Amino acid sequence: MKISKIYAREVLDSRGNPTVEAEVSIEAPIKGSKKIVRNIKGRSIVPSGASTGELEAVELRDNDPKRYGGKGVSLAVNNVNKIIANQFTGKEFNSQQEIDHALIHLDGTPNKSKLGANAILAVSMAYARAMAAALDMPLYRYLNKSGKFTMPVPCMNVINGGKHADNNVDFQEFMIAPHNAPSFKESIRMGEETFHALKSILNKKGYSTGVGDEGGFAPNLKSNEEAVEVILEAIHKAGYTPGKDISLCIDPASSEMWEDDHYVLFKSTKEKISSEGLLKIWDSWIQQYPIILLEDGMAENDWEGWKLLTDQLKNKVELTGDDIFCTNPAILQKGIDAGIANSVLIKLNQIGTVTETIDTIEMAYKNNYNCFISHRSGETEDTTIADLTVATNAGHLKTGSGCRGERIAKFNQLLRIEDELGKSAKFAGLKAFKNQ
């Protein structure tokens, strides 16, 4: 199938910052005819992160203070329209891998800094969508290799802190995982009921119910522990049992607290603690609370701390590496060899192509690591990660809280997928998490 057109434009993400949208059109033959063709278009939008790993593929920005405070992406858009389009229009590719490898070769840098990972990923995802449409199949089937499809547990970020909120909570994400359900549909209902129960509790306590970047509430609380305790109260209020029906996942975004070989906690007191001190906090929390997943429990540059964390907690909880791995197969292999973590967070724009993302997922599975699919704080209405989660049988994903359209878009797409799959859709449940 020949590419007939590639076009990109500058659009907006959920924080009101520019990002890249791409459209790829391909000429696909009509069934039963070798001569009559139809133009099939695929469209995608690239998300953007606030809490980012140092080794992520380069998100190309204009750095022109006269446009969007320097955050414009006209350079990346032009790279699609003037370089990628000129090279690829009129060409045929035999697979997703072939076009993605051609994009990587065209850029020619190890971190996609020439064309920009945002330019490359926009084309990669749009091509996947166009091919899926041309083959008359949904995206999750196009990306699937096993013939099996798993509906994930939605890990909903109900309280925001850290860089995702202007409050006094140190840790970035407090998530609920409604796993004791027969289906994704019932799981999301449980999560939404708990989300609304939490809002009423916060209101009653006199706390703000304004939300952060990912839709979670962002109140000023008395302590980090209070964030956990108020969520447990909400689970009870919604009629569920913590641990049995709904468990917790924590992403403290430890890299954001790492300064000069120690961690700076507590926004008010700026207390400094060592890796061993932070490990004691996590060990205590896991013993005290129904936490089944800890993401970025140590900073990306604290490999020794990560090793301590893994050695002590790897048989108790899922330990997910985000900043430390950056969805990069080479870095993940280094972590596997060093015995770091037992799970990897998957973000398409950290690595920059659909193929490399799936390569990382396959590497993780071959080495008995879990994969936790993730959105970014600067999200869009694009629902690719919903299809990717089902296609790769990851079993759990995070795409934000129980509100905001760019977050709910993923939930609604998963509800559609579950309907389409019917009885063949298997809900992951608690088994999606390591050591559960």
Query: Which of 223-227, 257-261, 269-273, 342-346 ranks highest by mean pLDDT?
Result: 342-346
378-425 pLDDT, tens per residue? 999 999 999 999 999 999 999 999 999 999 999 999 999 999 999 999
Which range among 52-56, 79-83, 309-313 shows the weakest confidence by mean pLDDT? 52-56
Asked if the model's pLDDT at residue 268 lies above 60, the reply is no
State yes or no: 236 annotated in a binding site. no
Asked if the model's pLDDT at residue 270 lies above 80, the reply is no
Q: How confident is the model at residue 35 (pLDDT cuts 50, 70, 90)?
A: low
Asked if the model's pLDDT at residue 60 lies above 60, the reply is yes
State yes or no: 418 annotated in a binding site. no
Beta sheet of 258-259, edge-to-edge order: 258-259, 262-265, 271-273
What pLDDT, on the 0 to 100 scale, is given for residue 111?
95
- State the average pLDDT over residues 195-215: 94
Can you tell me the distance from the alpha carbon of 126 to that of 365, in angstroms, rounded to the nearest whole number?
A: 26
Task: Answer whether CATH 3.40.50.2300 is correct for domain 150-432.
Answer: no
Can you tell me the distance from the alpha carbon of 361 to that of 326, in angstroms, rounded to the nearest whole number?
A: 12
Can you tell me the distance from the alpha carbon of 254 to that of 270, in angstroms, rounded to the nearest whole number?
A: 14
pTM listed for this prediction: 0.95
* CATH of range 2-136; options 3.40.47.40, 3.30.750.210, 3.30.9.60, 3.30.390.10: 3.30.390.10
Can you tell me the distance from the alpha carbon of 208 to that of 51, in angstroms, rounded to the nearest whole number?
A: 23
273-319 pLDDT, tens per residue? 999 999 999 999 999 999 999 999 999 999 999 999 999 999 999 99
State yes or no: 374 annotated in a binding site. yes
- Side-chain half-sphere CA neighbours of 42 within 13 A: 28
- Strand boundaries in 269-392, DSSP class E: 271-273, 291-295, 318-321, 343-346, 370-374
What pLDDT, on the 0 to 100 scale, is given for residue 269?
66
Residue with tokens 């002590």: 312
Q: What contacts 24+ positions apart, CB below 8 Å, involve 139-148?
A: 139/384, 139/387, 139/391, 140/386, 140/387, 140/388, 140/390, 140/391, 140/417, 141/391, 142/391, 143/354, 143/358, 143/387, 143/388, 143/391, 143/392, 144/390, 144/391, 144/392, 146/393, 148/393, 148/426
Instruction: State the CB neighbour count (10 A cutoff) for residue 264.
Output: 16
94-122 pLDDT, tens per residue? 999 999 999 999 999 999 999 999 999 99
Can you tell me the distance from the alpha carbon of 273 to that of 216, in angstroms, rounded to the nearest whole number?
A: 27
What pLDDT, on the 0 to 100 scale, is given for residue 62?
97
Can you tell me the distance from the alpha carbon of 129 to that of 141, in angstroms, rounded to the nearest whole number?
A: 11
Provide the residue ranges of all domains of the chain, joining segments of one domain with +: 2-136, 150-432
Q: How confident is the model at residue 163 (pLDDT cuts 50, 70, 90)?
A: low
What pLDDT, on the 0 to 100 scale, is given for residue 412?
98
Can you tell me the distance from the alpha carbon of 284 to that of 253, in angstroms, rounded to the nearest whole number?
A: 18
Asked if the model's pLDDT at residue 166 lies above 90, the reply is no
Contact 194, 176 (CB under 8 A): yes
Closest among 49, 112, 110, 111 to 345, alpha carbons compared? 49
What pLDDT, on the 0 to 100 scale, is given for residue 361?
98
Token pair listed for 240: 């569920």
Closest among 322, 310, 379 to 346, alpha carbons compared? 322
State yes or no: 295 annotated in a binding site. yes
Sign of the dihedral through C-alpha 250, 251, 255, 257: negative
State yes or no: 322 annotated in a binding site. yes
- State the average pLDDT over residues 134-146: 95
| CA geometry: angle 288, 289, 291, nearest 5 deg | 130
Q: Report the amino acid identity of residue 416.
A: R
Residue with tokens 């083959």: 135
What pLDDT, on the 0 to 100 scale, is given for residue 32?
64
Residue with tokens 């900073």: 299
347 noted as active-site residue: yes
State yes or no: 183 annotated in a binding site. no
Can you tell me the distance from the alpha carbon of 305 to that of 276, in angstroms, rounded to the nearest whole number?
A: 7
- State the average pLDDT over residues 254-262: 90
- Phi and psi based region of residue 393 (left: phi greater than 0; alpha: psi -120 to 50; beta: remaining): left
Can you tell me the distance from the alpha carbon of 28 to that of 390, in angstroms, rounded to the nearest whole number?
A: 26
Asked if the model's pLDDT at residue 224 lies above 90, the reply is no
| CA geometry: angle 358, 319, 175, nearest 5 deg | 90
| 28 compared with 175, residue with greater pLDDT | 175
- Indicate which residue of 214, 256, 379, 406 is catalytic: 214
Contact 1, 26 (CB under 8 A): yes
Closest among 337, 287, 329, 346 to 307, alpha carbons compared? 337
- Considering the chain, what percentage of its residues have pLDDT values greater than 90? 86
- State the average pLDDT over residues 369-380: 96
- Indicate which residue of 71, 112, 199, 347 is catalytic: 347
214 noted as active-site residue: yes
